Amino acid sequence: MKYEASKEERSQRYNRRFKILLFILPVILFLTIILAMALGPVTINPFTVWEIALSHVPFISNLIPVDWTNAHENIIWEIRFPRVLLGAIVGSGLSLAGTGIQALVKNSLAEPYILGVSSGASVGATLVILLGAFQMFGQYALSFSAFIGALLSVMLVFSLAKVGGRISTTRLLLSGIALSLILSATTDFIVISAPDDDKVHSALFWMMGSLVGADWQTLPIAGVIVVATFIFLLLQSRSLNLLLMGEETAATLGLNIQVFQKVLIIVISLLTGVLVSVSGAIGFVGLMIPHIVRLFVGSDHKKVLWMSLFLGAIFMIWADVVARMIMAPEEIPIGVVTALSGGPFFIWLLRKSSYSFGGEM
């Protein structure tokens, strides 16, 4: 009876935290977007940032008095605004991908980067960037190639991890790390074999993760995929919760394990492929954010998905701010920032062997 009371108390505490965070995080995200656009080698007043953004909104643009320079407008609207929005989209998407993969394999150490999904997407994307592969798909060549690379890599990892028809967590992580190293070496070979030095430099910077190429044309496809994935995962939150209970229990409660796992793998591969195509391989975001979220709101995916969406966006935006300001006017790849913060977090998770998906649903 004491255990049941404790369980109910934890559930109530998680519900209270979720309601509070669901109000606070969107506000923080909004302020983060404004501040991130204001900060840089050229600092611009946040109120000016807000005015420039509103001046491009139909019907109210004529109501905004123009008291800024053309240079400031170009910096905000053409460079920083699409970059910040892409950072929010990529951060949210990677967090959703990490949430989905961790539920799929029932392990908190899983994420697209560690399991080789991002490395597979990188191979596909590099083939397009440096060698012009899949040009018949036009502007979607990069996304399509990255998706195929991500899908093939995750399928290979899962096939290597199966023992007696079941997925071994240890084999999954080891297979993912091994495949990630092989695919990274393949990407390096493609890069050094490329004939164009300028493309090689751009590819190397992109491989470490970067939002430099953000523009208004790259946002729609990434945004649509992230929103569609979020809606799909949210609608399947009960199925994700059932996966955490074990395959036998989930099947008993009516979940078709085989079909759902395959659909989930395809969705996560598509999401990861598109994100890698627009930002490069950025690691550890999908590892850290879902774990941090579960510490606050428990393991119910209806809560975890909402919190991961907002927290992932906030984290990625600030990681990009650090990447472009810490050595200004030069900037470092954003993947370096996430690795420096995510690496120690990964080691902490490894040492915290008693951790499970804990919390109450």
Instruction: Give the pLDDT confidence score for residue 309 in this predicted structure.
Output: 95
In this prediction, residues 145-153 reach a mean pLDDT of 83
Sign of CA dihedral 349, 14, 94, 84: negative
Identify the H or E element spanning 269: helix 257-279
Quote the mean pLDDT of the chain. Answer: 83
The whole-number pLDDT of residue 55 equals 85
pLDDT of residue 307: 95
Q: Say if CB 98 and CB 112 are below 8 A apart.
A: yes
Helix (H) or strand (E) holding 166: strand 166-167
DSSP 78: I
| Rounded Cα gap, residues 215 and 196, in angstroms | 24
Which of 204-208, 269-273, 334-338 shows the lowest per-residue confidence on average (mean pLDDT)? 204-208
Question: Tell me: the pLDDT tens digits for 13-34?
Answer: 888 999 999 999 999 999 999 9
pLDDT, residue 205, reads 67
**Mean pLDDT confidence for 304-310:** 95
Q: Which tens digit of pLDDT belongs to each residue from 67-94? A: 888 888 899 998 899 999 999 999 999 9
Position 206 scores a pLDDT of 67
- How big is the chain, counted in residues? 361
Q: How far is CA 3 from the centre of its chain?
A: 36
- The candidate with the shortest Cα–Cα distance to 107, out of 95, 97, 118, 99, is 99
pLDDT tier, 114 (very low <50, low <70, confident <90, very high otherwise): confident
What is the pLDDT averaged over residues 287-292?
89
Mean pLDDT value across residues 36-53 = 87
Confidence of residue 169 (pLDDT cuts 50, 70, 90): low
Locus of tokens 């510490």: 295
Residue 137's pLDDT band (cuts 50, 70, 90): low
Tell me the per-residue pLDDT of 217-267, one tens digit each, with 9 for 90 and over.
889 989 999 999 999 999 999 999 988 887 778 878 888 887 888 888 888
More reliable by pLDDT, 87 or 118:
87
At 130, the pLDDT band (50, 70, 90 cuts) reads: confident
Give the pLDDT band (50/70/90) at residue 359.
very low
Q: What pLDDT does 2 receive?
A: 43
pLDDT score, position 313: 96
- What's the token pair of residue 195? 């004939």
Q: What is the largest CA-CA distance in the chain?
A: 71
Query: Structure tokens of 38?
Result: 């204001």
C-beta separation of 154 from 120 below 8 A? yes
CA 254 to chain centre: 30
Q: State residue 193's pLDDT score.
A: 76
Which of 69-73, 107-111, 142-146 comes out lowest in average pLDDT? Answer: 107-111
pLDDT of residue 352: 65
Structural domains of the chain, ranges and CATH numbers in brackets: 2-351 (1.10.3470.10)
Residue 312 confidence (pLDDT)? 95
The confidence score (pLDDT) of residue 50 equals 87
